Structures are given as structure tokens and as C-alpha cells.
Amino acid sequence: MLPAPVDSRASARFFQYLNHLKGLGPVLGLAGLCIAGTLLNGDFATVDNLMNVLTRTAFIGIIAVGMTFVIISGGIDLSVGSMAALIAGSMIYFMNMLMSAGTLGPLTIVVTGIAMALLLGLVFGLLHGLLITKGKIEAFIVTLGTLGIFRSVLTYLADGGALTLDNQLSDLYSPVYYTNLLGIPIPIWVFLAVALGGALILNRTAFGRHVQAIGSNEQVARYAAIRVDFVKTCTYMLLGVCVGIATVLYVPRLGSASPTTGLLWELEAIAAVVVGGTALKGGSGRIVGTVVGAILLSVISNILNLTSIISVYLNAAVQGVVIIAVAYFQRGRH
């Protein structure tokens, strides 16, 4: 048997190198934005501003990690912003009720509220998964419906206004958001832990491989004896837990929830995922890319805030343009 031609091996290495460069696109884009931000405004490169950007990124970044699994499996979730709002409102409502009853100590109530937020996220994710897999309803329709349901229920609980956390509970709970560990805010540490956990699950477990296989070709995955419905449901449950974690960090920041809480978070989370290189059609994606994508979008928003290039009211428009542009360039890749 003749050895493979040298030209063929060189070509393979060349295309492998090109693919590697494509994977670095979000990182190079982020580096370019940071340079541009520094040139436009000297305050951009300060430690305080960068910590503020990363802290604000944590909410969307954590949700985007869960969204990465859903999109890789070929699904979508349009309800995460409304889900976070309802979880925050329910959490505050329940904690205030326990405080009024006076049967539990403040610390126990805060821990119970945190557990409730995670449980609600898990249950909402399970509900989405079952409706999509067992109910055979498109993910787009299911999550579009729950988007309205979640926000309407919160508006009902808040009687059209805002739910505010009891002052004593707020004082006890606020360090979860405002405390630093080794000079780095707690939300950034939590974001890092969630991202590392997500990357480990996606790249080092059978579940992660099954998620990618389902996104590539669901029918072939079924022939390969992969439990497609179970895996897809788990991706939505994972996303729900991520929404719960983000809400646990969000509530102590403002101590309240209103019908505008979490508005457009779904847009930001999906944008972070696609900007990070995950295919909208499913089948492939990286948690590292999602993290970079979330930071990149926050940097764009921060630069808009620090400069007067474009009105800050057009942040959502900029993110929408980014999603469409990235989807356009993905056409030939997947």
C-alpha cells in the first residue's frame, strides 16, 4: 500500500489550522474590542470597570452556559428571562411569608429561598422538556407560551407593581452579591464554577457526547440507542437550574422583582451562545466560546455606556444585529 501523498497531509494540516483560527474568532474579537474600548475611553481599562463588566456578565453568562446545552441538542428556550423573573418574585414572596410567620430564623429563610429558586428552575426545565419530548410540541412554541405565562404570573403576584424583599432578609442576603473573595466578586466566582462544570459535562461525559450526537442527527442518535427524549429533557432541566443560580445571585443585588425583571435576557443568552461559535442548528459548540461571547456582548454594552457612539437605548438592537450577522456567517459552516 502506498503512503499518503505529502501534499494531502499538508492540506489536511492547513485546513485544521484554518478551523483552529475560526475557533479563535470570538477571542480575537474580544481582544479587538478591549483595545478599541481603551482607546475610546481611559476608564474602560480600570480594574473597577472590568470587575463591574464581569459581574454584570455573570447573570447572562450562567444562563448562557445552560442555553449552550439546549442549542447544541437542537432546541431553543425563549422563556429564560421571564422564568428568572418569576423565580425571583416567587422566591421573595415565599421568603417574606416565612419571615412574617416568624417560625424560622432569617438565615434558614434565606437558605430555604435559595433552595426554592433552584428547585423551581429544575421543575420549569422539566416541564419544558416533557412538553417538547412527550407532548411533541416545538420548543419554540412551548417556550414562547411559557414566556408569557411566567411573566403574567409574576405580574399577578406583584399586583402589577414590585415584590420587595424584607429589609432584615435583604441585609443578610446582600453579601451573596456584594462580597469579594480574593478581590473578585462572588458572582464572578460562581460564573467561573458553572462554566467549568458545564465544560466538564459537555466534553468529558457520555451525556455531553449524546447531546452533541442528538443535535447532529436526532434520528441517527435514536438508532444508536441514545435515550433522546431523556437527554433532551435533561438539557432543559440543566438550563432551568442555571436560571435558578442566576436568580439566586440577582435577588440580593436589588432585593426586588417586577414585571420588567429579566427583560430580554433570552436575547442576550442566545446571542452569547451563537457569538461564541455554537451552531444554531445544533450538533456542535463550546462552553469556552459561550463565556467569551457573553463577555464580548457585555464589553460592547459597556463601551456604548462609556462613549456616545450609539445610544445605550440601542443595546438590544446591537445584540440583535450581532445574532443575525453571526447566523449569516454560520450558514456555510454547519
**What pLDDT, in 10s, does the model give residues 73-116?**
999 999 999 999 999 999 999 999 999 888 888 899 999 999 99
Which pTM value belongs to this model?
0.88
Q: Give the chain's mean pLDDT.
A: 86
Q: Which pLDDT score is estimated for 332?
A: 56
Contacts of 56 (CB under 8 A, 6+ apart): 298
| 305: three-class secondary structure by DSSP | helix
Domain, as residue range, for 42? 31-332
Does 17 map to a domain?
Answer: no
Does 179 map to a domain?
Answer: yes
Does 154 map to a domain?
Answer: yes
Percent of the chain with pLDDT over 70: 89
Arithmetic mean of pLDDT, 283-305:
87
Q: Is the pLDDT of residue 21 over 60?
A: no
Helix (H) or strand (E) holding 257: strand 256-257
Instruction: For residue 222, give the CATH number of its domain.
Output: 1.10.3470
Q: Which pLDDT score is estimated for 44?
A: 80
Q: Encode pLDDT of 165-199 as tens digits.
A: 988 899 889 888 888 888 899 999 999 999 999 99
Q: Which of 230, 314, 232, 318 is nearest to 271 (CA)?
A: 318
Mean pLDDT: which of 24-33, 236-245, 265-274, 321-330 is highest?
A: 236-245
How many CA within 13 A on the CB side of residue 6?
0
Does 129 map to a domain?
Answer: yes
Q: Is the pLDDT of residue 1 over 50?
A: no
| Total domains, the chain | 1
Q: Which pLDDT score is estimated for 264?
A: 84
* Residue 8 pLDDT level (bands cut at 50, 70, 90): low
Does 78 map to a domain?
Answer: yes
Q: Encode pLDDT of 109-149 as tens digits.
A: 999 999 999 999 999 999 999 999 999 999 999 999 999 99
Q: Give the least confident one: 66-70, 125-129, 266-270.
A: 266-270
Does 20 map to a domain?
Answer: no
Does 3 map to a domain?
Answer: no
